[in-house]
Amino acid sequence: MRFEDIPLEQLSETSWEIPRTGGMLVPGLVFATSGMMEEIARDQALRQVMNVAHLPGILYRSIGMPDIHWGYGFPIGGVAAMDVGEGVVSPGGVGYDINCGVRLLRSNLEVAALRPRLPELVAALHRDVPSGVGSTGDVRVTGKEMDKVLAEGSRWAASRGYATSDDVEHTEDGGRFPAADPESVSATARRRGEDQLGTLGSGNHFLEIDEVEEVFFPEAAAAYGLFPGQAVFFLHSGSRGLGYQVCDDYLDVMTSYMRKHRIDVPDRQLACAHIGSDDGRRYLSALAAAANYAFANRQVLSHRVRETVQRLLGMGPRDAGIRLVYDVGHNNAKFETHDVDGRRREVLVHRKGATRAFPPGHPEIPDAYQEVGQPVFIPGDMGTGSYVLAGVPGAMRMSFGSTCHGAGRRMSRTQAKQSVRGKSVFGAMEKRGVLVACASHRTLAEEIPEAYKDVDTVVDVVDRAGIARKVARLKPVAVVKG
């Protein structure tokens, strides 16, 4: 089968190979159904999968997840692992919002009992959790304090009373990338992050109150503390202006590096440097620092949510039972050990709009989840639903322990805004039974449910492909957006 000039070979009901052509060093691999592939082929995402396959040192496959869509350099929903000796690191394979991620907070609350207080609670969360373009919080960090945030991540938050030891334990990598070097982060990036800790930001970032609608894997749901009818809190945010600036700074560095070392790639947005080079190491140190900022940001947000809910409902921590299930990033480049061509080796895995999905028994997931696998969170659109999944062994064989990170856009933001002219997004959401509070009506128009792919179909693909297993479906009841 061909989509325009892109050849495709269907490997299974849920996977396709793009054979090596031209300067591709490895084939492409995309997880999707036939119907989804037709939609995916409408933008440049498949071409970007092929472009990524040209990067020096890439191993096994250039991979696209079922939520794949056109991004900067790499497609959003792209995964690529590099040989640490010959390979490169590319900021386009991480994205501007470094360590953007999702965390889920469970509770002892039931939506049915909470519903009469929902309007009041949503208003309080909208007031207490800063959101919107350029939003600022009341946690200001400069100088040596900023150094500590960049070096320690969630552990800094714990030292300042914003996190418990349980929070730190249930965050990917213990909430800290150890390779961080605050000195590799520019003064401009640091200034942009001074007053943005504990802020959602805008765009597709959100705070949701969801109801656990259905459970598919009871053992994992029990391990994660989930039950039908339960109210849970979903947070999606990243490294804010600091991470954006780190990416911008190092794209310039990488562009110069490629000219100097005569690295030729099909798209200049794939600017890169060899992993072991001075420029490559500096970027990875800055990336780790921005990732730690993102962990700290989501932790301060979680603290605000807990405080607000408990205060409004007049409940203590034990009765409310608001506890972190897990926090996992989806814009990262990480050194990991994987089986490649029959042998164990260290690789650098780029995940852009893709999340870890490590299986039961993996040493890098919390002890509480060793029997069922790492929690994976797949947000859908704000009007339909989201999923909790669990990592499975198949992900280690097929996708470097990775799966999709969301439903994936099917409309650009401009198209979404144009499609709702003269319509009330608030009214449409109310008809769906979802309360909405937002800082910008324009942002809300960009995030209409119709702008996203069907999350049920996307999640069904990763479940059937064997790279993650469905645990529970969540239904939104209230949304706070920037």
The mean per-residue pLDDT over the stretch 414-440 comes to 81
Helical ranges in 239-277 per DSSP H: 240-261
Kindly write down the DSSP assignment for every residue of 16-27, as one continuous string: EEE---TT-SS-
Do residues 356 and 328 touch, judged by C-beta distance below 8 A? yes
pLDDT band at 421; cut points 50, 70, 90:
low
The mean per-residue pLDDT over the stretch 90-99 comes to 98
3-state SS, one letter per residue, for 317-354: HHHHCCEEEEEEECEEEEEEEEEECCEEEEEEEEEECE
pLDDT at 120: 97
pLDDT band at 457; cut points 50, 70, 90:
very high
| pLDDT, tens digit (0-9, with 9 covering 90-100), for 225-274 | 999 999 999 999 999 999 999 999 999 999 999 999 999 999 999 999 99
Of the candidates 90, 98, 101, 246, the one whose C-alpha atom is nearest the C-alpha of residue 170 is 101
User: Tokens 């409940």 label which residue?
Assistant: 315
pLDDT band at 1; cut points 50, 70, 90:
low
Give the separation between CA 258 and CA 365, rounded to whole angstroms: 37
pLDDT band at 137; cut points 50, 70, 90:
confident
pLDDT at 427: 82
pLDDT at 3: 66
pLDDT band at 88; cut points 50, 70, 90:
very high
Q: Which tokens hold the place of 142?
A: 């400069």
Cα dihedral 296, 300, 305, 306 in deg (nearest 10): 100
Give the separation between CA 446 and CA 412, rounded to whole angstroms: 8
The mean per-residue pLDDT over the stretch 89-111 comes to 98
Cβ neighbours, 10 Å, residue 316? 9
pLDDT band at 52; cut points 50, 70, 90:
very high
The mean per-residue pLDDT over the stretch 276-287 comes to 98
pLDDT at 418: 82
| pLDDT, tens digit (0-9, with 9 covering 90-100), for 287-319 | 999 999 999 999 999 999 999 999 999 999 999
pLDDT at 409: 84
Catalytic-labelled residue, pool 54, 236, 274, 405: 405
Do residues 232 and 104 touch, judged by C-beta distance below 8 A? yes
Q: How far apart are the first and last CA of the chain?
A: 42
The residues, any chain, with a CB within 8 Å of residue 87's CB and separated by 6 or more, are 55, 56, 57, 58, 59, 274, 275, 347, 348
405 carries an active-site annotation: yes
pLDDT at 419: 81
| pLDDT, tens digit (0-9, with 9 covering 90-100), for 178-237 | 999 999 999 999 999 999 999 999 888 999 999 999 999 999 999 999 999 999 999 999
Give the separation between CA 343 and CA 110, rounded to whole angstroms: 48
pLDDT at 440: 74
Give the pairing of strands 331-340 and 435-438: unpaired
Give the pairing of strands 343-352 and 354-356: unpaired
| pLDDT, tens digit (0-9, with 9 covering 90-100), for 349-406 | 999 999 999 999 999 999 999 999 999 999 998 889 999 999 999 999 999 999 999 9
Burial of 255 (0-12, 13-18, 19+ CB in 10 A): middle
Of the candidates 208, 278, 222, 214, the one whose C-alpha atom is nearest the C-alpha of residue 250 is 278
Give the pairing of strands 435-438 and 469-481: parallel
Give the separation between CA 76 and CA 178, rounded to whole angstroms: 26
Look at phi and psi of residue 286 and say left if phi exceeds 0, alpha if psi is from -120 to 50, else beta. Answer: alpha
The mean per-residue pLDDT over the stretch 165-169 comes to 97
pLDDT at 4: 64
pTM of the model: 0.96
pLDDT at 195: 94
Q: Which tokens hold the place of 89?
A: 């690191």
Please report the domains of the chain, with CATH numbers, ordered by start residue: 2-481 (3.90.1860.10)
Q: What is the mean pLDDT of the chain?
A: 94
Do residues 453 and 139 touch, judged by C-beta distance below 8 A? no
Burial of 261 (0-12, 13-18, 19+ CB in 10 A): middle
The most distant pair of C-alpha atoms in the chain lies apart, rounded to whole Å, by 65
pLDDT band at 112; cut points 50, 70, 90:
very high
pLDDT at 476: 96
Give the separation between CA 17 and CA 209, rounded to whole angstroms: 39
pLDDT at 202: 86
Do residues 322 and 106 touch, judged by C-beta distance below 8 A? yes
